[in-house]
Structure 1
Amino acid sequence: MKKQPPLLVSQSSEGFHIALGGHWVKESVVVLEKAFATLTCNPQSTYIFNASRIETFDTHGILLLLYRIQELEKKHCVVRIEGTNPSFEELLNVCKEHYPHEIPPQKKELALFTFLENVGKEMVAGYKTLASFFSFTGELSHAISALFLKPANIRLKATLYHIEQSGAGAIPIILLTSFLIGIVIAYQGAAQLEKFGANIFIVEMITISAVRELAPLLTAIVVAGRSASSYTAQIGVMKLTDEIDAMSSMGFSPWNFLVLPRLFALIISLPLLVFFADVVSIFGGMVIASTRLDVSFVEFIDRIQETVALKHLMIGLIKAPIFGCIIATIGCFRGFQIDSNTESVGKYTTISVVNAIFWVIAMDAIISVILTELKL
């Protein structure tokens, strides 16, 4: 029996007729490729493929046929397939559905449009975060009000534990930073005051700047770096491990167990840390005043009693619980924002520290402006 050729080309008024025959399977792909290579392609012509004489076929043969059809269509040719049986038609449709299509090149977008799109996305994300924060602070206010109506629900042991961790644990680093700040202020002030023979004014410079601004601010920044990150990571890990959901399902309030003890701990411990920082920073200034400007410790202390008003110390101590409330609220809020993946723990811990430090500095500036306008 004579072997049937894979392609038999004829031409009529309708166009080119290609009769497909033989075996269109994986083993015949090389032969079929050679047969198609002999097929001339006239742009904008009509090609009619007749599959009635195909004996066997599989996906390899049909995909090769689809590839050649696509090549013809790229040259604006009209292509039709005729004489297909149901099996061939079914497999042809499957191959067409899953045939890889060329990905069109992406259009280059204008830098301005990209910038505006990114700005819009950031604004929407900021709006959602702000709405979540207001919702969080509203629930926190409700939890505090409910706790004051039932003081027996205050978790004293948990609060004392966080005072120890956030307050007592920060004493060494605050001791070092406050002492160095006192030394820096005294050194810089001494270099200027010596020129005018006004050595004794170093007392007011060190004391007022330390107790009113620098000691509360730097103490809050140190605590924000330690405690805000710690609160976010602790609550976030509990959320990842479903401990918060388990706590809620057992009837325990996450606010009473997780948020309020941390909030009260910082509100109580930060004023104590600020007072400690005041003493240490003044002592550091006294050391430099004694060695550089010949102002003895006794003269330094007497000058403080005579010229420095108590309001400067009180202003610094009043700022402290406000800073503590900001740090604890932001740290806990970011902890509850952590998603169901470990990558978000690091992300929101970093955001928590940055936000806490920023809002501490911003609040300090706002308080300073208000007190200046009130002439305090």
Structure 2
Amino acid sequence: MNKGSSRPRYLRWDEKKSVLEGSGEWTLEHADEIERALGRLEIGSDRKCRIDFGGVERFDSSGMLLLLELKERVRKNGGECLLAGLNTKQRKMLHLVQKGYHDTPLPRRKEGFFYRVGHTVMEEFDVLRSFFRFLGELTASFARLLMHPGSFRVRETVYHIEQSGFNALFIIGLTSILVGLVIAYESLVQLSRFGADIYVVDGIGIAITRELGPMITAIVIAGRSASSYTAEIGTMRLTEEISAMRTMGFDPFFFLVIPRIVALVIALPLLIFFSDLMGILGGMLASKAQVGISYSFFIERLQEVLSAKQYILGIVKGPFFALIIAATGCFHGFRVTGDTESIGIETTASVVHAIFFVIACDALFAILYTQLGY
């Protein structure tokens, strides 16, 4: 309706002519006002009437749906209406909208076993592709860091060494002692049958330093630090701190990713050394309690059978495990979307993927050491 006119907007019922007149713009922008006008509308008791929309200035699909709703309301009241005033283009639009107006919704497709498997595979492939893109950006950031070493954030790196390294000593030490106890007890049960109790020292020393120490440490750190990195960076994504950093010209990799990776690469080999000591201590306690092997004899035997090579073969894995854990945790942090639920999803995914990649990396080391004769 034109400004200043007394004619009601959108709808007017002319009882004398039995005509329902439309006006204004029947678009999504005015849908709420039109619905209120429909609610106030009082149509006469005539069995036949005419709906004239020649005065409507503009239509879109929302307006067409409202027009169909109006026709349906008139029909339910026992009336019968003829539609007039629409041009050819509007009639085609009405036909398309009306075609699916009363259709029942399509049934949801059942997701069979093969569909779920394929969907999961494609999702994991997409994650893997994004991860390689992330590694490419990380490599470029490290290259820029080598060209501009003054931009390295020492204070943040020291802070993350404390958080990821020093604060994890207790849980790693306790876990390693328990694993050493279990290995010693299980080994002694078998070895004591053949009177070879002394060889428990060989098994504990080599198994802990070469395999179990690095693996236990990496798995504990994956559950502890990878999840922490994902949650921290993911929260920054939700609060748009990372977007603000980019707006101000700061590279999030320099501020968030590189300090965490460098800190964990430094801390994890030290944690593996500590885990080796605690695991051997647990085996020594179990040997003393189970078969009475003295501490001095255990240490002397350990010096004879455990060479520095076994320790080095285990400690070399530390930086690779650290790179995998830190990169995976940061990567999933950057994948957090705009809701809090995604933080939990990505945190869980980061721990699962970090542990999987650590085990896969350890398997590659085992194959490599075997091929090299170690």
Provide TM-score, normalisation by structure 2: 0.76
Structure 2: how far apart are the matches of 1:240 and 1:292? 54
Q: How does 1:307-318 map to 2 (within 5 A)?
A: 307-318=305-316
Which of 62, 77, 89 is the aligned partner of 2:74?
Answer: 62
1:191 maps to what in 2? 189
1:209 maps to what in 2? 207
1:129 maps to what in 2? 127
Structure 1: how far apart are the matches of 2:79 and 2:367? 75
The change in CA–CA distance for 1:88 and 1:337 in structure 2 (over 3 A counts) is: closer
1:222 maps to what in 2? 220
Q: Deviations over 1:32-55 (max 9, x none)?
A: 7xxxxxxxxxxxxxxxxxx5xx59
Which of 295, 298, 310 is the aligned partner of 2:296?
Answer: 298
**CA deviation after TM superposition for structure 1 residue 313, in Å:** 0.7
**Are the counterparts in 2 of residues 228 and 352 from structure 1 also a CA contact under 8 Å?**
yes
Structure 2: how far apart are the matches of 1:120 and 1:65? 52
**Are the counterparts in 2 of residues 26 and 61 from structure 1 also a CA contact under 8 Å?**
no
2:258 maps to what in 1? 260
**CA deviation after TM superposition for structure 1 residue 255, in Å:** 1.0
1:10 maps to what in 2? none
**CA deviation after TM superposition for structure 1 residue 326, in Å:** 0.3
1:155 maps to what in 2? 153
**Are the counterparts in 1 of residues 180 and 283 from structure 2 also a CA contact under 8 Å?**
yes
**CA deviation after TM superposition for structure 1 residue 121, in Å:** 3.0
**CA deviation after TM superposition for structure 1 residue 28, in Å:** 4.1
Structure 2: how far apart are the matches of 1:126 and 1:273? 31
Structure 2: how far apart are the matches of 1:324 and 1:56? 73
Equivalent pairs, count: 314
Ranges in structure 2 where 5+ consecutive residues have no aligned partner: 1-41, 53-69
Q: How does 1:84-103 map to 2 (within 5 A)?
A: 84=82, 86=84, 100-103=101-104
Given residue 322 of structure 1, which amino acid in structure 2 is its aligned partner? F
Given residue 159 of structure 1, which amino acid in structure 2 is its aligned partner? T
Q: Deviations over 1:97-138 (max 9, x none)?
A: 5694030663876x7xx4443344333323322221111101
Provide TM-score, normalisation by structure 1: 0.75
Given residue 329 of structure 2, which amino acid in structure 1 is its aligned partner? G
Q: How does 1:264-303 map to 2 (within 5 A)?
A: 264-303=262-301
Given residue 254 of structure 1, which amino acid in structure 2 is its aligned partner? P
2:3 maps to what in 1? none
Q: Deviations over 1:299-348 (max 9, x none)?
A: 11111111222111111111111111100000001111111111111110
**CA deviation after TM superposition for structure 1 residue 150, in Å:** 2.1
Q: Give SS of 2:103's match.
A: coil
1:347 maps to what in 2? 345
Structure 2: how far apart are the matches of 1:64 and 1:171? 75
CA RMSD of aligned residues (A): 3.2
